[in-house]
């Protein structure tokens, strides 16, 4: 880790599953971006999460349940969304590790 972070660095990650729109923007300086309610929801999961943890919504939990382990977090009041049931992603299942 960089000398700028002598105590390390912890990040918050938020995951949601659903439709999104993606594309390249610009003519001279190109950049790639993703939009949509799915992106906004994942962002809310990150901002309402805790450092060093991955918080997921119900749809993400359903998509990942066969390969990952979860701990229920409960409900979170999310601005613009109301009450959202969430989980912490805690690791991979043994089956997913054996198939990796």
Distance of alpha carbon 35 from alpha carbon 32, whole angstroms: 10
> What pairing do the DSSP bridges indicate for beta strands 54-57 and 21-25?
unpaired
Indicate the SS3 state at residue 2. Answer: coil
Token pair of 78 as six digits: 């999310």
Active site residue 12: no
Active-site residue among 44, 53, 73, 92? 44
φ, ψ for residue 94, nearest 5 deg = -60, -40
Active site residue 73: no
Give 4's contacts (C-beta < 8 A, 6+ positions apart).
Answer: none
Active site residues: 44, 79
């Amino acid at each position: 880790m960089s000398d700028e972070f002598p105590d390390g660095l912890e990040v918050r990650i938020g995951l949601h599953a659903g439709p999104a729109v993606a594309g390249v923007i610009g003519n001279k300086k190109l950049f790639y971006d993703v939009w949509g309610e799915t992106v906004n929801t994942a962002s809310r999961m990150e901002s309402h999460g805790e450092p060093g943890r991955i918080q997921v919504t119900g749809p993400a939990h359903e998509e990942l349940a066969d390969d990952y382990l979860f701990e229920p977090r409960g409900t979170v009041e999310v601005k613009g969304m109301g009450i959202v049931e969430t989980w912490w992603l805690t690791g991979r299942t043994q089956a997913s590790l054996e198939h990796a």
